[in-house]
Structure 1
Amino acid sequence: MIKKVIFIFVSLLLISCGKDASPKPYGELRLEYPAPKYQKFENNCAYTFEYSDFASIAPAKKPCWFYVNYPKMKAKLFVTYYPIQNDFADHIKEAEKMVYEHTIKASSIDTKSFEYPEKKVYGNFYELKGQSASNLQFYITDSTKHFVTAYLYFNTRPKPDSLAPAVNYIKNDMKHLLDTFEWKK
């Protein structure tokens, strides 16, 4: 009886091992976001711009400060406004300080200057690579009266590979925001 049980067990063991085991590749999460449709942000402040309908706008602590929320991505674009009162250089220094505070974790910082002289819109766009807390930042000014900054934050630990699709989506939205940004007269 024991011989029969051992024979059946060994037979099943040999039959079940017909193929060599091969490791299976890790599955990657596929993140797809809808094609953006833009809407104009109207407010009582000195500026206006277009933002994606995938996002929503919420007021922040001070007048003319806003959050552009991306709830499905757990991301916020924090937009601030400062009137210039003989302190233009201080605003530039503060904006650059906010960027370069991330050099501890950022592996590189790409800076792109932009200008739309017909709209009196000038500024810098910063893309921070690596495990930075803020991946994208910019400032916009007319260099005489107004100064706007924006910082992108995710409500998660910085993981560049995992966040890359969301960062790229929001980066395109931020570029559209810059292209459509206008000062009110």
Structure 2
Amino acid sequence: MFKKLLFTFLGFALISCAKETQPKPSGELRLEYPEGKYQKFTSPCNFDFEYSSFAKIENAKNPCWYYIDYPKMKAKVFITYFPVKNDLDVHVKESEKMVYEHTIKASSIDTKSFNYPERRVFGNFYELKGPTASNLQFFVTDSTRHYVTANLYFNTRPKPDSLAPAIDYIKKDLLHLIDTFNWK
């Protein structure tokens, strides 16, 4: 009996040790988002634009402030409107301050200016790279009466590699928003 058990155990030991196990490479979740389709949003605060149908617009605490919510990405773009009363430079400096406060964590900040004189739409678009709290920011103004600023935030820790597909998707949406932005 003991011999049978010993031979059985040795047989299983030889068979089970025949192939060397190899660790599986770690995989990442592949994030795919729908193709960009846009719908128009008209604010009672003298502007309109097109935004992604993948998102929804919600009112914020002030009458001319909005959230563009991307619930599946756990992201929100905060849009704020301010009337300009001979204080455009104050608003621009405040927007730039919000961007450059991230220099501690940002590996780079790319700035793109845009200028659509036929629609009186002027401003800057900022892309902050690295583990920053806000990855995309911009401001739009007509340079005399209106000023709109926007900031993208995720409801998660800033992990640039993990958030990159969502940031790229929302970046395209925000650039489309700027391209379709109009003052009333």
Per the shorter chain, which TM-score range? over 0.9
Q: Which residue of 2 aligns with 1:105?
A: 105
What is the TM-score with the length of structure 2 in the denominator? 0.97
1:119, distance to aligned residue in structure 2 (A): 0.6
1:129, distance to aligned residue in structure 2 (A): 0.6
* Deviation readout 1:94-135 (Å, 9 max, x if unpaired): 000000111111111111111111111111100011100000
Q: Which residue of 1 aligns with 2:44?
A: 44
1:8, distance to aligned residue in structure 2 (A): 1.1
1:6, distance to aligned residue in structure 2 (A): 2.2
Q: Which residue of 1 aligns with 2:140?
A: 140
1:3, distance to aligned residue in structure 2 (A): 2.9
Q: Which residue of 1 aligns with 2:16?
A: 16
Q: Does 1:65 align with 2:65?
A: yes
CA distance in 1 between partners of 2:153 and 2:20 (Å): 47
Detail structure 1 runs of 4+ shifted over 4 Å in the superposition: none
CA distance in 2 between partners of 1:153 and 1:67 (Å): 10
Unaligned runs of 5+ in 1: none
Q: Which moved more, 1:17-26 or 1:52-61?
A: 17-26
**Counterpart residue identity of residue 117, structure 2:** P
Q: Does 1:128 align with 2:128?
A: yes
Sequence identity (%): 69
CA distance in 2 between partners of 1:125 and 1:163 (Å): 19
* Deviation readout 1:5-42 (Å, 9 max, x if unpaired): 12211211111222222221111101111112100001
Aligned residues: 184
1:74, distance to aligned residue in structure 2 (A): 0.5
Unaligned runs of 5+ in 2: none
CA distance in 2 between partners of 1:70 and 1:100 (Å): 25
**Counterpart residue identity of residue 46, structure 1:** N
Q: Which moved more, 1:128-137 or 1:10-19?
A: 10-19
CA distance in 1 between partners of 2:42 and 2:23 (Å): 55
